[in-house]
Every structure is written in C-alpha cells, then in structure tokens.
Amino acid sequence: MCGTLNLLFSLLISVGPWVTQMRTDGFSVLWTSDEESIAFVELSDGSRHYDEFAGRRIHSRLHRIHLTGFEPGTEVPYSIGECKVVDKSNPRRPQYGEEVISGPYRTRTFDPSKKTCKFSIFNDIHMDTVKYRTLLSSVDTSSLDFIFLNGDLVSAGHHSVEDIVRYEIAPLGDIPSHIPVMFARGNHEGRGDGVKNVSAVFPNDGELPFTYIFREGPVAFLVIDVGETGYKNSLALSGKRVYEDYIKAQLDWAEKAVKCSEWRSARRHIILCHVPSYDYDIPDDFVAITWMARNALPVLNKLNIDLMINADLHEYKYVEVGETGNSFPMIVNDNDSRVDVSVCRKKISVDIYSVSGDHTHSFVF
C-alpha cells in the first residue's frame, strides 16, 4: 500500500508526539500532521499499531494510537509513522504517498512499586506561550514522572484541535514524547464549541470524559472536572446552575472507583482539579467553587485524601484543614506560578516557583 522511506518526520508532522492517558499497563501516543494521513506506532519488536476505528485505518490530521498490555514500569521504545493521503476521491482505492517514520522515542508506564513520584503543574496560562515556556525552563525533567496541566491553558473560544495543541502541547517541545502529559479541564476549555476537541487531544476512555484515577509510585490521583464556574455562564452553556448533575455523577463514580486496588494500596492520595472547593458565597463569580465546598467536600472528605491542588482564581491561596469544612489541606496556585510536587511514602513536598524564578512557597505534608 505504501512505499517505504525512512525520512525526517518533520516532512509531515505539525506537533508531537505527546504521550498521555498513561496508566500502569499502557498509554496513548498522539501527534498532528500538516496534511491528512494514516498513522501508526511501531514498537521495538517490529509490531505496528494503527490509528483505527471499527477495523478501518483512519484518515486524519490528529493521530491517536492507544497501546496496552505492558507491565508496570516498562520502558517502551516506540517510533511513529504515517502515509499522506494523496487522493481519496475513490473510496474503494484511496491513494497514499511515501511512508515516513520518526524515532525511536522512549517512555515508561506508571509503576505503583516506585518509591517516589515527582511532577510539575501548570495552570491558567491563557495562551501566554512565553510565560508557559519560561515556567517550564527551570524544571528538572530528568527525574520528572509526568507533567500535569490543571486547566485554562487556553482562553474561552471555539477552539480547533490545532488551537488546543498549539497552546497546550507545542510549548512543551519534545518533553511530552517521553514524559506523559496528564490533564484536568478548566472552565475556559469548557467554553465554546471545541469541548470535544479538548477530549480528542487529551483522551480518556473511562466512563466520564475528564474524570479518572491513576497511580504512580506511592500516590493515587483523582482528577475531577467541575466545568463552568460563573452563574451567568453556567446558564448559557448548560442550562443548569453549575453543572450540578455532571459533578454529582463524578462524585458517585469516585465513591465507587476508590475501592480499586490502585487507590486502596496507595500510601498517599491527591486530588487534582482546576476549580477549588472553598465557600466564597459570592453569587455570580464563584458559584461552582461555593457549590463544591457545600456539596462535594462531604463526599471527598470520606476518600482518605492527603492534599487537593487547584487553580482558577488567578491568586495563590492555602486552605488549612477545617477552614471550609475540608478534612484535607488545599493549595490554589495562581496564574503566574508553577507547582512542583515530590512524594515519597512518608511525606508530600510542594514547592511553588514564580515566572521570574523565585521560590515563593514551600510545604511538607
């Protein structure tokens, strides 16, 4: 079907590859192309895994191949390849160009037996790619297990896949080809007609599109999606006050999901969520935040949580245990800082750095 050329993949590639949806047994590899093509991932054993749907290889500019069947902590070398679609006017016999391959790249599946876990959090960048790259530049990626994007890397808009990738993935350079990028949706990623494009760039094959549990080392993570934050916007976008039914479905799911062995066997438990749970009692601007404090915290308090890390407010805030009915501390990062977290079995260390490189806050739990 395709000829074979081992060329620099920059001939077709736009952005990527990036690894996401990382778990202990598998992960997804994604990238975007300048032109429509069919795509595959090739593993070191020579096996190829194509971007397929219902037995059919997909013609697309966004490529996603999900790989599974690995043991925890497995180092996985992989290459990516594709064939440009030259002519698809005949649906029975589409014509393809030469095959191009790039790699090998290398990543590692998450490992519950690992003694430590280190990750960095970025949030509320709002398309400021200069700030994004500056915050990233001082990260020591040599020991990083993953990068977490905690929402609002874009601002409200009808974002295409290309927009989301340009502002959320591209500034990370080649880091996501080997270090997984995990994701929580912010309220701005929920505005406009591109919300399904967000889930295409950050896929999750679970029951809920942006809610999931994952495990790395001694930590189990619960990711929650609150959706819209303001009363007026919530009415316009969902017809419900603050996505209550949607959040309740996530809480019901979480109460069942935390019974899994990955969660129960973890020494530490962290919630990652763009929107805080703090009783502001301001009727228009912080409706979701107040709703979460009054309705979600009673559920979350039962889940043996050690720490919750949030964003959204564009200001730093530390919420002590009991301050708003919470049984665990909460850190709210501002829009000009990065959060670095290091976890071992005995403690959680959190350090916050400003865009100017200053070390502004430090915690040990």
Nearest CA-CA partner of 119 in 218, 225, 254, 265: 218
The secondary structure of 276-337, three-state, reads: CCCCCCCCCCCHHHHHHHHHHHHHHCCCCCCEEEECCCCCCEEECCCCCCCCCCEEECCCCE
Query: Residue 232, class by beta-carbon neighbours within 10 Å (0-12 exposed, 13-18 middle, 19+ buried)?
Result: exposed
Per-residue pLDDT tens over the stretch 290-336: 889 999 999 999 999 999 999 999 999 999 999 999 999 999 999 99
85: left (phi over 0), alpha (psi -120 to 50) or beta: beta
CB 352 within 8 A of CB 361: yes
DSSP codes joined into one string, 60-103? EEEEEEEEE-PPTT-EEEEEEEEEEEEE-SSTTS-EEEEEEEEE
The size of the chain, in residues, is 365
Q: What is the mean pLDDT of residues 152-163?
A: 95
Nearest CA-CA partner of 186 in 313, 100, 97, 87: 313
Residue 292: CB atoms within 10 A of its CB come to: 26
Buried residues in 198-228 as b, exposed as e (16+ CB within 10 A): beebbbbeeebbbbbbbbbbbbbbbbbbbbb
Inform me whether the pLDDT recorded for 9 exceeds 80.
no
Taking 3-state DSSP, the helix, strand and coil percentages for the chain, each rounded to the nearest 5, stand at 20, 35, 40
CB 358 within 8 A of CB 338: no
* CA 117 – CA 80 distance, rounded (Å): 28
Helix (H, G, I), strand (E, B) or coil at 231: helix
Nearest CA-CA partner of 145 in 355, 342, 345: 342
pLDDT of residue 4: 45
Inform me whether the pLDDT recorded for 214 exceeds 80.
yes
CB 272 within 8 A of CB 210: no
Per-residue pLDDT tens over the stretch 13-57: 889 999 999 999 999 999 999 999 999 999 999 999 999 999 999
Stated pTM of the model: 0.94
Per-residue pLDDT tens over the stretch 71-104: 999 999 999 999 999 999 998 999 999 999 999 9
The structure tokens listed for 28 are: 């997804």
